[in-house]
Amino acid sequence: MKSPAVVYRFFQRADGTAPSVRSVVISMVIAAALLTAIGVIRVSRQHEVLRLGFELSRASEQVGRMHEARRALELELATLTAPDRIRRLAIQLGMAPVAPDRIRIVSPTATAQPSTQTPKPTPRQTP
């Protein structure tokens, strides 16, 4: 181990005087504090990057599950709205195709306003 005098000689100037060791210690403490702060900031940034990466991974997995669910729902919609299936169900329920001349299209009238009273039922006439 070096004696303090040897360390002190290390800081001596050419004219033989040595600067105060106090300023050297203060500058070394400031340098150590700056390096520590830089290290802490870097570690916190890395931690933030990792956290966001995991969050992104979870979100992309959720998007994949949602895409799969949407595909399943689209398949179910296509299956349920298939004309052959609807025709088969209609026949099972006793429905029959209607002739085109018996189809009437009813359009809403512009002057008709919804009534707040319930209409009275009218007796049906049989043909």
Cα separation, 86 vs 82, in Å, equals: 6
Band of the pLDDT at 4, cuts 50, 70, 90? low
pLDDT of residue 127: 45
More reliable by pLDDT, 44 or 114: 44
Is the model's pLDDT at 88 over the cut of 70? yes
- The burial of 75, by beta-carbon neighbours within 10 Å (0-12 exposed, 13-18 middle, 19 or more buried), is given as exposed
pTM: 0.47
Q: Could you tell me if 40 and 48 are in contact, meaning their C-beta atoms sit under 8 angstroms apart?
A: no
The total of other beta-carbon atoms located within 10 Å of residue 11's CB is: 13
pLDDT of residue 113: 61
pLDDT digits (tens, 9 = 90+) for 59-86: 999 999 999 999 999 999 999 999 999 9
Is the model's pLDDT at 9 over the cut of 80? no
What rounded mean pLDDT belongs to the chain?
83
Q: Could you tell me if 80 and 74 are in contact, meaning their C-beta atoms sit under 8 angstroms apart?
A: no
